[in-house]
Structure 1
Amino acid sequence: MRRHVRAGALFRSMQRVLCQPAVRKESGFTLLEMMVVLCVFMVCLAAALIPLRTTVSAVNDRQFFQQVERDLFAAQAYAIAKNKNIAVDFFENGTNYYHIYTYDSARKTIEKREIPSRFKWDARTAGTIVFLRKGTVSRTGSIFFATQEKTTRLIFLIGRGRFYFTSE
């Protein structure tokens, strides 16, 4: 009977050892956990990028209008320095360019820049603006830069050749 008891105890101890699940070391994440974390990260990133689009558009618009302002001041200074009339055409012949040139019979291009395609020509836009030899403008007028969101107006005042931008 002793043998039987020992054999039974041995059998039970072996059964416990063999039936226990193997112990594994976990040193990383499962694929499912990685996918969940990646999805959460992508949703957060997408939520942060949505307002960035409008911010980038506003910054590009501001840079364009600053460039136009610098070019107009340069054209006015050129008119005074060279004692020549300088013309500025916006949306020249239906294209998205503004062209600054001498207004004499022999036209000399001073600057020609592209107007971004998001700005469309507006029927209220004045024709050519001319800076006279003394830096004044020949007539008052407005240039309209229209987008889907807003319209920006470049206003030329009579007198000293002043101009400014307003948003409508």
Structure 2
Amino acid sequence: MAEALITLSGFLVIVSISITLMNPLLSVVKRENFFTLLKADLYYAQLYALSHQREQSIIITGETNRYYINDSRYALDLLVYRTYPADIAVKPGTMPLTFKFLPDGNISRFGTILVHAYGDFYRITFQLGRGRFYVADE
């Protein structure tokens, strides 16, 4: 009986240590998931604008932690609608949080958008011409 209690207490110590180590890992996974989804959605909007020859508006609302992509002509025609965790703050940098992908795949504005995610700062930079963008940490 004593051996079973010692084994059980050892198991509980290992489980409690692993649970405390999971919290930082969870924030890393949430941050990576946000950037992966955002990049995929932006590429999708760009491809949709190219293939359908219509402007696609990207609107990020930092106050409500949402972003959506819709056809510029038909405001009710949502292509993508996503919410992201409250621990992630998206703010305008040199570029506002509303922009468009044009029918040729280029972006209507260029500049940076700032992201504060789980204690780290990131910059999403949209380049002039061809609609390319990248994410960099600061």
Q: Normalising by structure 1, what TM-score?
A: 0.72
Higher Cα radius of gyration: 1
Task: Extract unaligned runs of 5+ from structure 1.
Answer: 1-28
Task: Extract unaligned runs of 5+ from structure 2.
Answer: none
The yes-or-no answer on 1:67 pairing with 2:2 is no
Higher relative contact order (CA 8 A, sep 6+): 2
**1:4-45: per-residue Cα shift (whole Å, max 9, x none)?**
xxxxxxxxxxxxxxxxxxxxxxxxx24xx5444333321222
Structure-2 separation of matches of 1:121 and 1:78: 24
Could you tell me the percent identity over the aligned residues?
27
- Comparing both structures, which one devotes a greater share of its residues to helix? 1
Q: Normalising by structure 2, what TM-score?
A: 0.85
Q: Secondary structure at the match of 2:88?
A: coil
Question: 113, 136, 144: which one pairs with 2:82?
Answer: 113
Structure-1 separation of matches of 2:135 and 2:7: 48
User: How far did residue 91 of structure 1 move?
Assistant: 1.7
Question: 67, 91, 96: which one pairs with 1:98?
Answer: 67
User: How far did residue 69 of structure 1 move?
Assistant: 1.1
Structure-2 separation of matches of 1:115 and 1:48: 26
Question: 47, 63, 67: which one pairs with 1:77?
Answer: 47
Inter-CA distance 141–64: structure 2 relative to 1 (3 Å threshold):
same
Structure-1 separation of matches of 2:84 and 2:55: 23
Q: Superposition RMSD on alpha carbons, in Å? A: 2.0
- Comparing both structures, which one devotes a greater share of its residues to strand? 2
Residue-pair matches, total: 136
User: How far did residue 61 of structure 1 move?
Assistant: 1.7
